[in-house]
Amino acid sequence: MQLNTKKTTKFNYLFLIIVIIPFLIINCEENENTIMESISTDGNSIVERCIDNSANYKPKKYNKKIIDQFYKQFYKENIKSLISLFTDDAQLFINGQTGIVPFSGIYTGIKNIEGYFKAFFKATSIKSLVVQYNLYSKNYISSHIILKTFIHSTRKTLDLEYVFRFKLDAKFKIESLALYYDTYLYTTAFTAGGERFLSDIKVLSDNYIVKNANYDCSAIVDHTNALFMTGDLETLINLYISDDLEITFKCPNSVPWTGTFYGPNGLTTWFWAMVSNASPIFQERHTTVIDGNRLDVFIHEAWVVAASGKTFNIELLNSFRFDNNGKITGFISINDSKAIYDAFQP
């Protein structure tokens, strides 16, 4: 889904109705059938592990309707309609250090969430919104989008990738919503002076297609993480790393392991840049969303920086995509980059 401007011609509407919508409906139906066939023919399918067999589970096309409504009302800045999609006691989490990153924190209850949207839409204007892809797993949806906003106070334009993690209740209302993004760049956009157009690192190799998979993404990531944390790169590369691997870590350039790295050699470079400059204290993976050949894992972790002795204690998202053989072809880390940056300051 792409919304480039709020001025759409009648021709574009007709084209959307006549050509695009029927195509999307056919695609969704074919994809749904393919997934259900995978479940019925492969008892070990990763898709099957994502299915909640309780009475609360519905096919993901129902969840998709909620997401479509959310983005439609979000783009239109229609707060009343947005709020109607949430439960009364819903919780909204905006990643970042409270009081440092604008709007970061936890908003509990419908009134507080409404207050957040009012403040956000007063401070910014949405210029465009592009949905890259959505992952559906049980009652969770992990939605990857590109959002371009204009910041009124600084006259800056901000072009960022976000991950919106939705949790729905049994009635398909939003029970919780968490936002992950480059917090350093977001804070910079609200700070006077400097560049007028800000954009995070974009992934160029991803086609944003979610494919079926007959391997266990979760088990692969568990083993990958264990090998990574113990420094066994040789086994990690031999078992799980594609020659086409692309690693994207979104942080300021002053953080040694930021940027894009390619292939097994890139993984090695990235690993040593990280462990040579910081040491892990703890890691807790609290939410995993799996759909086909993609997995998003949401993590709380802390590291201590060698040079400064400071600790960064952050929430982050690590996003994996796999090829047909279960090898990792893509890895993106979207984290509290402002906290990491601050920990490197003397």
User: Could you tell me the residue ranges of all domains in the chain?
Assistant: 2-199, 217-343
Overall fold of domain 217-343 = Nuclear Transport Factor 2; Chain: A, (3.10.450)
How much is the pTM?
A: 0.82
Q: Which of 50-59, 147-156, 317-326, 327-336 has the lowest mean pLDDT?
A: 50-59
Percentage with pLDDT > 90 across the chain:
79
Residue 274 has pLDDT above 80, yes or no: yes
Closest CA to 273 of 221, 340, 205, 222: 340
Q: Cα torsion for 51, 83, 164, 46, to the nearest 10°?
A: 0
Residue 25 has pLDDT above 60, yes or no: no
Residue 47 has pLDDT above 80, yes or no: no
Given a contact cutoff of 8 angstroms between Cβ atoms, the answer to whether 295 and 224 are in contact is: no
Whole-number average pLDDT of the chain:
86
pLDDT score, position 26: 38
In the structure, what pLDDT confidence band is assigned to residue 31 with cuts at 50, 70 and 90? very low
Given a contact cutoff of 8 angstroms between Cβ atoms, the answer to whether 180 and 315 are in contact is: yes
pLDDT score, position 41: 28
pLDDT score, position 205: 83
Mean pLDDT of 111-128: 98
In the structure, what pLDDT confidence band is assigned to residue 325 with cuts at 50, 70 and 90? very high
pLDDT score, position 330: 96
User: Which H or E element spans position 268?
Assistant: helix 263-275
Residue 23 has pLDDT above 80, yes or no: no
- Architecture of 2-199 per CATH? Roll (3.10)
Given a contact cutoff of 8 angstroms between Cβ atoms, the answer to whether 277 and 261 are in contact is: no
Given a contact cutoff of 8 angstroms between Cβ atoms, the answer to whether 139 and 52 are in contact is: yes
Q: Of 54-58, 281-285, 335-339, which one has max mean pLDDT?
A: 335-339
Given a contact cutoff of 8 angstroms between Cβ atoms, the answer to whether 317 and 337 are in contact is: no
Mean pLDDT of 124-143: 94
pLDDT score, position 291: 93
Say which residues have a Cβ less than 8 Å from residue 71's Cβ, sequence separation at least 6. Answer: 1, 129, 131, 145
Q: Which of 61-75, 283-297, 303-317 has the lowest mean pLDDT?
A: 61-75
pLDDT score, position 329: 97
Mean pLDDT of 98-112: 97
Q: What is the pLDDT of residues 189-200, one digit of tens each?
A: 999 999 999 999
Domain 2-199 and domain 217-343 have a common topology? yes
Residue 5 has pLDDT above 90, yes or no: no
